[in-house]
């Protein structure tokens, strides 16, 4: 191919010296067609195409990231200048704040170039387990700050085609930097695993709380459903659909307030959040990286006490299984004919029912029966008389668990909920500043008393064998996965180490 390029260059030089004639133009066209035919007959190996695509995407992402970093730096400076418009600050105080900001920016650039790895963290305890990895409580060695480290095995992500899901999770944690979503400080990778370093919320999750309390009062339910609704609305405004809203993914901070977590099934507006995108990456751009129908079913009501006991008996096993539970999934998601943000509001209605009744409305002894109940929700969504709830609560659940096109929250988000009688009295603007419905007891920065024990999981971070000679692990689809948050690298203070 290089020889052909040189010949073309010589031809152009010859033409420029003798002048453009019809004969020379015809000769050039024939030569170009000959070269194109020769090149089209070349067949590159998959390995060569893979390396070429990787090089292309790597270079494009490098310059795309430089542009993004510059924009973020400009935004941080603008935010600082806006805060300095306060007349109570003297000129010297404003100058001091500008100097501190400049020092932080310099520190951020220096630390951003440093390589972050597992060796920078000390593992303290395993606090969670999932289908593709575990969650550990870790402490950063240089600062003493405590985090939750989510470890995902690359080989499992590739084998199960979960690359799109893990990309969506990483992206939403980068973008959703606000009070309703678990904050991610860093993300990085090694040849074996992906790592998400997130804030540690010591209050545990809503699933554990519900198992302890059996049921919640309508007052407590109003508080937790209200906070969850605000969290759902916040990610919808970013263009994301969670798709996996359930008590397991509602975490409690040290004050007992909710935050959304586990965006592994989240889907967004980018191509890189779709599984089919990773089956052909030859046309990838930098911006790409920044069931069946219902069958007939007759519902036979089970005594509510037996249903609650059965649910509690199987609940924790379902939480840690690879299969999971379909109890919270909207019927339109099962149909696979298209769905939107409304599916998250259905899940909220199911959770509200569970808080008041002690079990979700469609729970069964096996996932198949649960699926059939969900698809036949018009007949199976019942309210047993032995567990009475107010008409306002009942009406609210029904408005969540109904057809997608008329589901509450689907058209105007949180604004629709503010007009519902069940949420009368909720201070939507300041709910997070007020005391939580149920206080959380936390003894220390690394208190894990609100989490399950996992004695069968080793504390050491697992590592899979590296690819053997001749084996190609196409893990470069995780390119641009690394992230370091400005606040994380520039925060000061060293908490007491464990």
Query: Which residue numbers are catalytic?
Result: 244
Chain-centre distance for alpha carbon 9: 51
Instruction: Quote the Cα angle for 5-60-118, to 5°.
Output: 130
Q: Distance (Å, rounded) from C-alpha 268 to C-alpha 236?
A: 9
Q: Would you say 326 and 375 are in contact if contact means Cβ atoms under 8 Å apart?
A: no
Q: Residues in the chain, how many?
A: 498
* Dihedral-angle region of residue 114 (phi above 0 means left; psi in -120 to 50 means alpha; beta otherwise): beta
Characterize the bridge pairing of strands 121-129 and 146-153: unpaired
DSSP state of 114: S
375 closest CA partner among 445, 424, 418, 326? 326
150 is in an annotated binding site: yes
What Rg do the C-alpha atoms of the chain give, in angstroms? 28
The values of phi and psi at residue 333, to 5°, are: -70, -40
CB 462 within 8 A of CB 154: no
Q: Is 231 helix (H, G, I), strand (E, B) or coil?
A: helix
Tell which residue, 81, 103, 71, 74, has the closest CA to residue 490: 103
**351 in Cβ contact with 245 (< 8 Å):** yes
Minimal CA–CA distance to 360: which of 372, 378, 348, 375? 348
Which two tokens mark 372? 């059939």
Q: Binding site residues, as ranges? A: 150
**Residues contributing to the annotated binding site for ATP:** 150
């Amino acid at each position: 191919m290089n020889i052909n390029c040189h010949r073309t260059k010589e031809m152009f030089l010859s033409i420029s010296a003798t002048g453009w004639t019809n004969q020379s133009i015809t000769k050039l066209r024939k030569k170009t067609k000959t070269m194109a035919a020769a090149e089209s007959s070349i067949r590159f190996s998959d390995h060569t195409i893979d390396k070429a695509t990787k090089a292309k995407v790597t270079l494009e992402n490098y310059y795309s990231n430089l542009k993004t970093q510059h924009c973020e730096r400009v935004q941080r400076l603008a935010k600082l200048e806006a805060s300095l418009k306060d007349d109570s600050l003297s000129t010297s105080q404003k100058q001091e704040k500008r100097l501190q900001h400049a020092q932080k920016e310099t520190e951020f650039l220096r630390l951003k170039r440093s390589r972050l790895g597992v060796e920078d963290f000390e593992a303290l305890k395993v606090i969670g387990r999932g289908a593709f990895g575990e969650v550990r409580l870790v402490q950063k060695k240089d600062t003493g700050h405590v985090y939750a480290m989510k470890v995902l095995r690359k080989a499992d992500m590739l084998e199960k085609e979960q690359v799109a899901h893990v990309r969506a999770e990483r992206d939403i944690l980068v973008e959703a930097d606000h009070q309703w979503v678990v904050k991610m400080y860093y993300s990085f990778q090694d040849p074996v695993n992906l790592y998400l370093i997130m804030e540690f919320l010591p209050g545990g999750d809503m699933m554990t709380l519900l198992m302890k309390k059996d049921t919640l009062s309508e007052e407590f339910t109003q508080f937790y459903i209200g906070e969850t609704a605000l969290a759902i609305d916040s990610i919808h405004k970013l263009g994301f659909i969670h798709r996996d809203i359930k008590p397991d993914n509602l975490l409690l901070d040290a004050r007992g307030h909710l935050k959304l977590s586990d965006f592994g099934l989240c889907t967004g507006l980018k191509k890189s959040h779709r599984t089919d995108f990773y089956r052909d990456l030859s046309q990838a751009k930098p911006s790409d990286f920044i069931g069946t129908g219902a069958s007939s079913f007759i519902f036979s009501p089970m005594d509510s006490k037996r249903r609650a006991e059965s649910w509690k008996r199987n609940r924790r096993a379902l939480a840690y299984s690879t299969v999971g539970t379909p109890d919270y999934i909207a019927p339109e998601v099962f149909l696979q004919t298209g769905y939107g943000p409304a599916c998250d509001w259905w899940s909220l209605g199911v959770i509200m029912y569970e808080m008041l009744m002690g079990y979700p409305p469609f729970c069964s002894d096996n996932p198949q029966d649960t699926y059939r109940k969900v698809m036949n929700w018009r007949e199976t969504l019942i309210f047993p008389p032995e567990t009475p709830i107010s008409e306002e609560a009942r009406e609210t659940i029904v408005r969540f668990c109904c057809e997608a096109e008329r589901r509450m929250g689907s058209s105007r988000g949180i604004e629709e909920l503010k007009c519902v009688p069940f949420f009368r009295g909720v201070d939507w603007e300041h709910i997070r500043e007020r005391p939580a419905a149920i206080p959380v007891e936390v003894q220390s920065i690394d208190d894990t008393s609100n989490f399950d024990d996992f004695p069968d999981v080793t504390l050491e971070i697992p590592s899979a064998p590296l690819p053997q000679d001749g084996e190609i692990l196409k893990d470069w689809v995780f390119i641009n996965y690394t992230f370091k948050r400005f606040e994380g690298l520039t925060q000061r203070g060293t908490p007491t180490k464990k």
